[in-house]
Chain A
Amino acid sequence: MSWWDMLVPLLAAAVQSGTPILYATLGEIFTERSGVLNLGVEGMMIVGAFAAFLTAKWTGSPVLGFLAGGCFGAALGAVHGLVCIGFNGNQVVSGLALTILGIGLADYMGTPFIGQSAPGFDPVPFPVLSDIPGAGVVLFHHDLLVYFSYGIPVVMWFFFRYTRWGLRLRSVGEYPHAAAAAGLNVSRFRWAGVLVGGFLSGLGGAYLSLAYTHLWTSGLTAGRGWIAVALVIFAFWHPGRAVVGAYFFGGVMAFQFRLQATGTHIPSSLLLMLPYALTILVLVFSSWRGRDQRAPAQLGVNVEPSE
């Protein structure tokens, strides 16, 4: 088997296992750009995964399921908004509580459905583009949710960079007092940040239960929400770099299984650690390289509602 025949499926697998993380990372970037730190990504993902599964099962429509996943992720995000924006609660504590709440809720509601499957998304080769040698297989032999995820970073990049609302959202994260003085309603922008972020995290969860597998089990997200939180830093809050980070993590995950399948004698415990160890390494390296890049200045700081 030539290296090309090994590489192409590996990269295709990287895209697929990176996609749920990509959705969640983009969501968290959006939230943090508005100045709110939400560590509840894991909780919002798993609630989204369960809501998506159940909706698809009951209605028979994967599309409705996907949307429901986003909506329930946003609903859980709203709890964070209420605590932090409404009542000036501590963002770190609220986010951690959200993770525990989300996992607990999904576990409790989901127990009777464990091991059951629901209609989901199957791979559909993208017309024309899927025929491109190499890249066609890597990028365009997936399900609709992967194609949908390609559009989000572009839209988000455009929104932050070229639209008035994007600039305002960023200013609320960078310097909320100045934003307020300029007449912006800081709370409203931060609410938007939290809800959109929750929606995207929910979609990431929905990807796991509707496309990656077509079934429900407790603990389906298996820590992917935390990886997303780490990748936000790796990405320096840029949607484009989030794509690189998510596919890199997915790629290493897929790579270590493939290495095992070749019959290597490296212990599997070491190989299974690889995606996490490499993520930390890359994080350290990129933080050192990008010292001039930084988080939104007022990230995690609550703003007293003005009169």
Chain B
Amino acid sequence: MMKRMMMALLVLSLCLGPAMAADKEIKVGFVYVSPVGDAGYSYAHDLGRKAIDGKDGVTTAFVEAVPEGPDSERVILNMARKNFDLIFATSYGYMDPMLKVAAKFPDTVFMHCSGFKTAPNMGNYFGRIYQARYLTGMVAGRMTKSNTLGYVAAFPIPEVIRGINAFTLGAQAVNPDVTVRVVWTKTWYDPATEKEAAKSLLDAGADVIAQHQDSPGPQEAAQERGVYSIGYNSDMSAFAPKAHLVAAVWNWGPFYQEMADAVKNGTWKTGAYWYGMDKGIVDISPINDAVPEAARAEVAAKKAALVDGSFEPFTGEIQDQSGAVRIPEGKSATDAELLGMDWFVQGVVGSTQ
């Protein structure tokens, strides 16, 4: 009896198969490096996942808190074996494990976030968050009274350095006297350490604190001292309603939609996708009421210029800390230069090591 039913199902599915192809269903998997939680980097990716889940035949699944390295290979492999059509791995350390798995599953599409390696069926992607950082720098530059901004930085890698530079350039654009002090914590998420680092910047005279890590520790420190803060990844205003001026935020939904559609229609191509504000991948959160109207208008105008492509933050002349010209007058940094950035612009106080 059981056998006959199975047979009937099999025949049925064979008949329906071709008919379903027109309205294909795809399974999309996500791998996150940290727990999703209520805020932060993985939370932002998960908002993107939720935006496509259940729409137009897309079903999604995710695995959170996957350590970079061998464990991630197992997780990605498992998803590929379960016939996921498209897999997003959202942390740098997943790059080589994903590359290995991609070689074994040529019919599955793999997308790796924040890396640089590709394969015929594996692309990489990221967002130009530095554009949003530039805008948050403008807000900070307008709101500081001491002309000293503090930046609680994670690890000295190009991604973080680029963010600090863009923030500094944005602040200098509205307030040439600004300096940005940098403290490295060598952590991505350690609220106690990051809060301590923020306090040391406050003691050094900073009155606006920006950060790269996921935790709201620096926001808390700013709120307690009655000064201002700039968030990252997602809107952090809930943690420091008075201090939080604005945040540079990710908005992955449109990108994940585009990739899912491309895979479904068979139009997906490998490559490096590095989208910016023009595609809505990066943005800024709503600005605190404490920021004057003139400053908001200024930021809105710059944002419009970023969106229509008439402005690019890393356009010369830009000097490094020693005063050497790194980007000549009238030239914009190439993507390769941006991705390998290992120097601070003038006005940053701190070491890139």
| Chain A residues within 8 Å of B, Cβ to Cβ | 1, 6, 9-10, 13, 17, 111, 114-117, 122-123, 208, 212-215, 217-220, 222, 253-254, 257-258, 260-269, 272
Kindly list chain A residues whose C-beta atoms are within 8 Å of the C-beta of B203: 6, 9-10, 13, 258, 261
The 8 closest A-B pairs by CB, nearest first: A115-B37, A257-B200, A263-B349, A268-B184, A114-B37, A267-B353, A261-B204, A115-B38
Q: Is the CB of B200 within 8 A of A212?
A: no
**Residue in A closest to B34 when the chains form the complex, CB atoms:** A114
A170 → B minimal CB distance (Å): 34
Q: Is the CB of A215 within 8 A of B216?
A: yes
Select B351's contact among A213, A218, A268, beta carbons within 8 Å. Answer: A268
Kindly list chain B residues whose C-beta atoms are within 8 Å of the C-beta of A254: 196, 199-200
Q: Is the CB of B204 within 8 A of A262?
A: yes
* Chain B 128-168: CB-based contact to A (< 8 A → 1; otherwise 0): 00000000000000000000001000001000000000000
Interface members, chain B 336-353 (any A CB < 8 Å): 349-351, 353
5 A-B pairs whose Cβ atoms sit less than 8 Å apart in the complex: A111-B35, A115-B39, A258-B203, A263-B181, A267-B353
Q: Is the CB of A258 within 8 A of B192?
A: no
Cβ of B182 < 8 Å from any Cβ of A? yes
Q: Is the CB of B35 within 8 A of A218?
A: yes
Q: How far is the CA of A218 from the CA of B182 in the complex (A)?
A: 26
Q: Is the CB of A114 within 8 A of B35?
A: yes
Q: How far is the CA of A58 from the CA of B103 in the complex (A)?
A: 49
If A122-B224, A263-B350, A268-B156 touch, whether A257 touches B197 (CB-CB below 8 Å) is yes
Known: A116-B38, A213-B191, A257-B197. 15 other contacts (CB 8 A): A13-B196, A111-B35, A115-B40, A214-B220, A215-B191, A218-B35, A220-B191, A257-B201, A258-B204, A260-B182, A260-B184, A260-B351, A261-B203, A261-B349, A268-B353
**Residue in A closest to B234 when the chains form the complex, CB atoms:** A115
Kindly list chain A residues whose C-beta atoms are within 8 Å of the C-beta of B215: 115, 213, 215, 217
Cβ of B190 < 8 Å from any Cβ of A? yes
| Chain B residues within 8 Å of A, Cβ to Cβ | 34-35, 37-40, 43, 65, 150, 156, 181-186, 189-193, 195-197, 199-201, 203-206, 215-217, 220, 224, 239, 349-351, 353
Kindly list chain A residues whose C-beta atoms are within 8 Å of the C-beta of B193: 222
Q: How far is the CA of A141 from the CA of B183 in the complex (A)?
A: 25
Select B183's contact among A111, A218, A261, beta carbons within 8 Å. Answer: A261
Kindly list chain A residues whose C-beta atoms are within 8 Å of the C-beta of B185: 272
Q: How far is the CA of A11 from the CA of B64 in the complex (A)?
A: 40
Q: Is the CB of A220 within 8 A of B186?
A: no
Q: How far is the CA of A266 from the CA of B350 in the complex (A)?
A: 9
Select B191's contact among A1, A217, A266, beta carbons within 8 Å. Answer: A217
A23 → B minimal CB distance (Å): 14
Q: Is the CB of A213 within 8 A of B197?
A: no
Kindly list chain B residues whose C-beta atoms are within 8 Å of the C-beta of A265: 351, 353
A249 → B minimal CB distance (Å): 12
**Residue in A closest to B186 when the chains form the complex, CB atoms:** A272
Q: Is the CB of B190 within 8 A of A261?
A: no
**Residue in A closest to B348 when the chains form the complex, CB atoms:** A263
Kindly list chain A residues whose C-beta atoms are within 8 Å of the C-beta of B39: 115
Q: How far is the CA of A267 from the CA of B189 in the complex (A)?
A: 21
Select B217's contact among A13, A213, A253, beta carbons within 8 Å. Answer: A213
Q: Is the CB of A208 within 8 A of B192?
A: yes
Q: Is the CB of A111 within 8 A of B65?
A: yes
Q: Is the CB of A219 within 8 A of B204?
A: no
Kindly list chain B residues whose C-beta atoms are within 8 Å of the C-beta of A253: 196
Q: How far is the CA of A263 from the CA of B183 in the complex (A)?
A: 9
Kindly list chain A residues whose C-beta atoms are within 8 Å of the C-beta of B349: 261-263
